[in-house]
Structure 1
Amino acid sequence: MTQSIMLMAHLAVAMLIIVLVLLQRGKGADAGTGFGAGASGTVFGSRGTSNFFSRTTAVLAAMFFGTSLTLAYLSAQRTQPESLLEGTLTDGPAATAPAFEPPAGDPALPDLPDLDPGPADN
């Protein structure tokens, strides 16, 4: 249960990082301001977008790192199998079926003659 909740949080943080990275402008985006694109990036102020998005991305990256470590710890602590199939596969040699050996002298199984393979071609 805890692992499922942590996995959902991990995926949500990953999606938010992707969205924030796509919303950020590249370093070369300011080159267009000299050619008539002067209104770009004025929602958060002249330098507000880079500070806001950079800080938020850094916080989300730290959260992503934390959830990754927590998921690794939780998966290492898992001791009980989640399904019956996992339980039977991890029981060891006792879980394997014995090999089939027909009973000696069974009348239902006819005796087959030994076949000579013939001369070997070299």
Structure 2
Amino acid sequence: MIPLLVVLHIIVSLFLIGVVLLQQGKSADLAAAFGGQGSQTAFGPRGAANLLTRLTTYSAIIFMLTSIGLTILLSRASADRSVLAGHPTTQSTPKK
């Protein structure tokens, strides 16, 4: 289960990087090149989210869920293992 989740996590992370790099900025229209605000204002109405925005949202959610899942699975897998599991323990008597 862990290797499958790791592969899914890597695929989603690469997809998320690609989708974020493909998106345009908020003021990426022609008017912004000449110093104008364009049709998109800072606090104005926002249009419907396009496909890239939705893909970014869904891939970010999947990325977070796989991160949490990997953390839980790996903590459970290593809960019964210890760094000192193979070494015998010895107690020393305190010196007076």
Taking structure 1 as the reference length, the TM-score comes to 0.52
Name which structure has the greater RCO, CA cutoff 8 Å, separation 6+: 2
Measured in 2, the distance between the counterparts of 1:62 and 1:3 equals 19
Q: By how many angstroms is 1:91 displaced?
A: 2.7
> 1:51 aligns to what?
50
> 1:62 aligns to what?
61
> 1:91 aligns to what?
86
Q: By how many angstroms is 1:34 displaced?
A: 8.0
Q: By how many angstroms is 1:33 displaced?
A: 8.1
> 1:76 aligns to what?
75
Taking structure 2 as the reference length, the TM-score comes to 0.64
> 1:27 aligns to what?
26
| Structure 1 unmatched runs, 5+ | 36-46, 97-122
Which amino acid in 2 is paired with 1:31? Answer: L
Q: Percent identity?
A: 30
Give the number of equivalent residue pairs.
77
Measured in 1, the distance between the counterparts of 2:89 and 2:3 equals 30
Q: Secondary structure at the match of 1:28?
A: coil
Measured in 2, the distance between the counterparts of 1:32 and 1:22 equals 22
Which amino acid in 2 is paired with 1:7? Answer: V
